[in-house]
Amino acid sequence: MKAVNVSTNTWASALKKMAVAAVGVATMLGLAAPAVAAPPSGSDSVRVVGGIPAAQGEFPWMVRLSMGCGGTLYTRQIVLTAAHCVPQTGPNSRITATMGVVDLEDPSAVRIQSTYVYQSPTYGTSTGGDWALIELASPAPEELGTLPIATTTAYNNGAFDVIGWGAAKEGGPQQRELLKAKVDFVNDDTCKAAGGFYAGLIPSAEICAGNIPAGSTDTCQGDSGGPMFRRDNNNAWIQVGITSWGEGCGRDGKPGVYTEVNTFAAAIAAARI
């Protein structure tokens, strides 16, 4: 979440992508504990339109983290996720990374414990930086591969793919099956014009995507840390964003906001973990 002078209730409502209440996450991970605002009246009718089940093996580098976030295999032993999903930098063996399946109850799932967490040192500052790295106790199976990240703004356009095990509607339950959907690039001026938190968008650190003005297609609670990605010039997947925040899920005129990966690519590559 960007550094803004707001109440803790408002702050928590903007970081809407986490799977569990912020108080619960705070207790588990040692974070500050803002209260979470309740979903607005009638929010149960707000659905992530276009979300369909992903096929087994379609996105092999996708990871589910035990605190209720998503992530991707940056390397076979390092998961890239959102800074707001993790505690401060340091040793951490309490996170379980589940991978290799679309069904979280599939007995063939690979599960590896964390050993260390690196949280972006600029997270929460005026320059943004909602990204983090999680070191695993052992490498992921080679066949799962990795997801490269963008190092330029060349792919900050067009349609993106988003995936996750998060809620299929605002305030809804987490999903057992991995879902995928398409979202469209939203330019900075249009995103800022959505008002509220969006007026404070950090253009160099954040990128918006969704369906403007109708809403409907979006990431939701539990999708934090997961990738926003597209095909590169060689038709290979490349990660452009990290699911970060937004007002609600799929609300009219309220796009999702993602960490702009290319801005932090050098810092991610240089992180000592």
Catalytic site residue 184? no
Average pLDDT score over residue span 110-137: 98
Q: What confidence category does residue 213 fall into, taking pLDDT thresholds of 50, 70 and 90?
A: confident
140 and 217 together in one domain? no
87, 110: one domain? yes
Q: What is the pLDDT of residue 117?
A: 98
141, two tokens: 């199976």
pLDDT bin (cut points 50, 70, 90) of residue 19 is: low
Closest alpha carbon to 179 in 231, 250, 235, 254: 250
pTM equals 0.86
Which listed residue (13, 114, 120, 130) is catalytic?
130
pLDDT surpassing 90 at residue 2: no
| pLDDT value at residue 47 | 30
The pLDDT of 263-272, averaged and rounded, is 96
Bond before 213 cis per omega within 30 degrees: yes
Whether the Cβ atoms of residue 166 and residue 221 lie closer than 8 Å to each other: yes
Supply the pLDDT for residue 211: 85
> How many domains does the structure of the chain reveal?
2
Q: What is the pLDDT of residue 264?
A: 98
Are residues 184 and 258 both part of a single domain?
A: yes
Residue 163 shares a structural domain with residue 247:
yes
Catalytic-role residue among 13, 84, 218, 223: 84
Could you confirm whether 108 is annotated as catalytic?
no
pLDDT at residue 242 is higher than 50: yes
What CATH number has the domain bearing residue 214?
A: 2.40.10.10
Identify which of 250, 256, 266, 271 has the alpha carbon closest to the alpha carbon of residue 86: 271
Q: Does residue 23 fall inside a structural domain?
A: no
Question: Exactly one of 114, 120, 224, 244 is catalytic; which is it?
Answer: 224
Please tell me whether residues 252 and 160 are part of one structural domain. Answer: yes
Q: Are residues 250 and 172 in the same domain?
A: yes
Q: Are residues 190 and 241 in the same domain?
A: yes
Tell me the DSSP string of 103-131.
BTT-TT-EEEEEEEEEE-TTTTSTT----
Identify whether residues 216 and 139 lie together within a single domain.
no
Residues 226 and 186 placed together within one structural domain of the fold: yes
Is 18 contained in some domain?
A: no
| Amino acid sitting at position 198 | Y
Angle at 187 between CA 9 and CA 71, to 5 degrees: 60
The string of DSSP codes covering 215-259 is ------TT-TT-EEEEE-TTS-EEEEEEEEEBSSSS-TT--EEEE
Q: What percent of the chain has pLDDT over 90?
A: 75
**What band does 272 get if pLDDT is binned at 50, 70 and 90?**
confident
pLDDT tens by residue, 169-198: 888 899 999 999 999 999 999 999 999 999
pLDDT band, very low/low/confident/very high, at 97 (cuts 50, 70, 90): very high
CA 109, CA 99: separation in Å to the nearest integer?
Answer: 6
Instruction: Tell me the average pLDDT across 10-37.
Output: 37
Range in 13-22, 82-91, 208-217 the model is least confident about: 13-22
Which whole number is the average pLDDT over 230-240? Answer: 98
Query: What is the rounded distance in angstroms from the CA atom of residue 217 to the CA atom of residue 4?
Result: 26
Residues 211 and 157 in one domain: yes
Let me know: does 64 contact 109? Beta carbons within 8 Å. no
Contacts of 81 by beta carbon, 8 Å cutoff, 6+ apart = 63, 65, 69, 70, 71, 72, 131, 132, 133, 134, 224, 225, 226, 242
Given this model, what pLDDT does residue 171 score? 86
Mean pLDDT, the chain, integer: 85
pLDDT band, residue 212 (cuts 50/70/90): confident
pLDDT tens column, 61-95: 999 999 999 999 999 999 999 999 999 999 999 99
Is 77 part of any domain? yes
pLDDT computed for residue 115 by the predictor: 98
Which residue do the tokens 């401060």 mark?
Answer: 88
Is the domain of 71 the same as that of 167? Answer: no
The confidence band for 164, taking pLDDT boundaries of 50, 70 and 90, is very high
User: Is 198 a member of any domain?
Assistant: yes
pLDDT band of 1, cuts 50, 70, 90: very low
Rounded distance, CA 85 to CA 15, Å?
10
Gap between the Cα atoms of 85 and 69, Å rounded: 7
223 flagged as catalytic: no
The domain of 118 spans 58-146+265-270
